[in-house]
Amino acid sequence: MEVILRESVDKLGHPGDIVKVSTGFARNFLLPRGIAYEATAGNKKRIAQEKDRLQQAENTRIAAAQEFATKLEQVSLTFSARVGEEGKLFGSVTAGDIQQQLEAQGFTDVEKRMIDLHEPIRALGVYKVPIKLHADVKPEIKVWVIKA
């Protein structure tokens, strides 16, 4: 049986894809939960219109993310920390610390989970920290860690 997916389904497809599945899977799982439509001519037209609408919405989200990224790329954060021997910090600079400083500078839209810091910064120096605004838009901000 052919169905048109409304939502992303693991190992099956993404919204708008026309996939062939077993009749039981379609009737017992996909159709009752509203995850898919039957692939009729009318539904194919409707899903094409919905796909166009989703693509336009995605394009506006990408444009907004790119505009915000240009503002973020100009940001430079400075953290002063106590330092021990060999330039190692007493403590670290985490994604939460970066988010707080960004918030203090007026960037309230950046959440902690968006900051792509694999591990906390534990040494002096200049670091480029990527921010995940969108899957295709990842600006980098400069983070300076200086001796207090």
For each of the domains in the chain, give its residue range(s) and CATH number, in order of start: 2-68 (3.40.5.10), 69-147 (3.10.430.100)
Percent of the chain with pLDDT over 90: 59
Percent of the chain with pLDDT over 70: 100
pLDDT above 90 (res 52):
no
What pLDDT is stored for residue 54 in this prediction?
A: 83
C-alpha span between 68 and 30 (Å, rounded): 38
Tokens encoding 43: 């539904």
86 by DSSP, 3-state: which?
helix
Alpha helices (H) along the chain: 23-25, 41-72, 95-104
User: 50 forms bridges with which residues in the sheet?
Assistant: none
The DSSP call for residue 94 is -
C-alpha span between 92 and 115 (Å, rounded): 15
Torsion of CA 18, 21, 26, 28, to 10 degrees: -160
What pLDDT is stored for residue 77 in this prediction?
A: 95
Cα 35 versus chain centre, distance: 23
pTM more than 0.75: no
73 and 139 Cβ atoms separated by less than 8 Å: yes
What number of other Cβ atoms are within 10 A of residue 57's Cβ?
10
- Name the one residue in this structure whose structure tokens are 């954060």: 77
